[in-house]
Structure 1
C-alpha cells in the first residue's frame, strides 16, 4: 500500500499568492491583530457580513506574511475526510491523498475555512487540537498525529447574520480562537475601494456607495442581506462596461438581494432616488 499526498489548490499548484499584494484597505486594527495572533500561533475567526472583505483580507495578509494560502469553501456536505484526506484507488494501488487541512499542516501554510458554520459540527471538531496549544492534527486513518509545521495558521470565517441554533460555532471551538470583527468600510474608504476595483470615477463610486448605505438602513424582513461592498463593485464594473447606472444597480444589487416583489419595488425606488434614474421593469 502506497501513501501519496495530493491537493488541488485554489490558487494554483504552488499555493503562494505571487505578484502584487491583493488590494485591501484596512478598516480598523484587523491587520495588526491578525499578524500578532499569527506570530503567537493563535487561530483566528473572522466575523462579518457577506461581501465585506474577509476573504480579500486573508489573501492580503498571507501575501504580507509570504505564506501559501489554502482556501476551503465550507458547505453542509463537507466531511472530515474532505478536510483531512482519504485513501483512493490509483491504478492497482490504494494511495493516501491529503486533504487541504493536512496539506496546510505539513507545509506550514495558512488554511482558511470560509463560512465554517456551513460545515457539520462533527467535522469542525477536528480543528480543536490544531486551534489550541497542541497545534496537532490526528489522522486516525493513518494512525499518526502531525505537528503543525512552522508557519501554519488556521483561519475561519462566518457571517453572524446567518447564525442559528443549528448553524453556529461550538463554544469549545470559539474559545480556541481570536475573534476579529468586520463591518462595512466608512463611506470615504468604500468609495475608494469601489473606484479602484471597478475602474470607475469617484463620483460614480460615491453614488453607488450612497445607494448601498441607504439599503443598509432599511428595516425590512424581505432582505436576507444588505448591499455588500462586493455587489457595489459588481454594479460599478457593469457601468464601466457601458450599462446604464439603473440597469447595473438593478441586476447587480437589487436583483440578488431579494425575490420579494414588494421589496424589489422599494429597491427600485431607491435606485431612482439615489442614482437619479428609473430602474427597468419597475
Structure 2
C-alpha cells in the first residue's frame, strides 16, 4: 500500500511523486509526461500513414485507357512542359473533346497525388479553400477546493480544408474542371496563389490566414471554348497568369483509337461510328456538335448488345445523338439527320 503524509499546507504527498490536491487533481510525473509524448508521436505517425493511404487510394490520378497517338502525345507534352515550369495551364476546347482526360493524363505523368473540383455557378471561395463546418464544445470543472467548484465552457470551431488548400499545403496537382462555370469573384483567391505563391484564406485571421504554396503544387484548369449557357468570362488578371492551350476535336484516326480503347469494339465498327459522329458534327452549330464522348457512348451501347443488327445500330445512334434536344420537333429533325448520315456511311461502305 502506498504511503502518504500530510504537510501543513494541506497538500498530500505520495511516494510516486504526485502532488494530490483535494478534489483529486494532481501534477503529472515525468513518466506520465513521457508516456503522453510517445502517444502524441504515435498519433502523428498514424495520421501520416493514413494520409499516405488516402493519397495512394483516392488521390492518384489515372486516365483510364488513355490513348497516346502522335497527335495526343504532342498536346500532352505541351501541357506537361508548361506545368513543369511552374505555370498553371488553362486547357480550352469544345465539350467532349477530351480536356479532362488530358488533364488527368498530365497529372498522372507528374507522379503526384491530385485533387479535383468541378466549377458551377453556386461555387464560392469556401468551396475552394475550406470552411468552418463543425463546432466542438468542451466543459471544464475545477474542484480545487473540495466544497467549491468552478465551471467553464468553451466552443471551438472545426476547420475543414477543401481541394485548393490541400493542393497548396501538400504539393498536389490541382485540377479545376469547368473553371469558367464558376463566378469570377469566387476565383479571386487564385490570383495570389499563381502570382505570389501564397494562398490567402479570407475566413481565417492572423498567421493562419496565409499558407505558403508548396513547391510541387501544379494547377490544370479546363473550360469550354463555346459560350454555352451558364459560362462566365474569367477576369483578365487571372487569365494573364496562366498559359492557355486551345484544343479541338481530335482527328479521325485518334478518335477511332479512343473508341476502340474505351470499349473494345472492332476497328471496322469504330470507324463507322466515328464517321457518323464527325459528319453530324460538321452539320450542326458549334454548341450542338457531338464530341468524342458520343462515339464512346454509342460503342459502349453496341458492345453491351453483344451482336446487333441494323435496327439496333440505328436505335443506339438515335438515343445518343438525337435525344439531347429540348423540343420534340427538334428531336424528330435530329433523328432524320442521323438516319440520313447512317445511310450515307452505309452506302460509302464505312
TM-score by length of 2: 0.69
1:17 to 36, 55, 61: 61
1:252 to 302, 311, 320: 320
TM-score by length of 1: 0.85
For the pair 1:30 / 2:75, whether they are aligned, the reply is yes
Structure 2: distance between partners of 1:105 and 1:160:
28
1:181 to 246, 256, 276: 246
Superposed CA deviations along residues 190-236 of structure 1, whole A, max 9, x for unmatched, are 1111111122111111111111111111145xx73211101110111
For the pair 1:131 / 2:194, whether they are aligned, the reply is yes
For the pair 1:60 / 2:105, whether they are aligned, the reply is yes
2:261 to 196, 213, 222: 196
The offset of 1:63, in angstroms, is 1.1
2:296 to 233, 242, 248: 233
Which protein, 1 or 2, shows the higher relative CO under an 8 Å CA cutoff with sep ≥ 6? 1
1:112 to 167, 175, 179: 175
Residue pairs, 1:132-211, within 5 angstroms: 132=195, 134-143=196-205, 144-162=209-227, 167-211=232-276
**Which residue number corresponds to residue 40 of structure 1?**
85
The offset of 1:90, in angstroms, is 4.4
Spell out structure 1 runs of 4+ moving beyond 4 A.
10-14, 163-166
**Which residue number corresponds to residue 338 of structure 2?**
271
The offset of 1:75, in angstroms, is 0.7
Structure 1: distance between partners of 2:228 and 2:58:
35
Superposed CA deviations along residues 165-188 of structure 1, whole A, max 9, x for unmatched, are 971111111111001111111101
Kept in 2: contact 1:109–1:153 (CA 8 A): yes
Structure 2: distance between partners of 1:148 and 1:99:
15
Structure 2: distance between partners of 1:227 and 1:165:
19
Structure 1: distance between partners of 2:281 and 2:204:
50
The offset of 1:262, in angstroms, is 4.3
Larger Rg: 2
Q: 1:107 to 1:34 in 2, by over 3 A?
A: same
Listed as ranges, the gaps of 5+ residues in structure 1 are: 278-282
Three-state SS of the structure 2 residue aligned to 1:269 is helix
Three-state SS of the structure 1 residue aligned to 2:66 is coil
Aligned pairs, number: 266
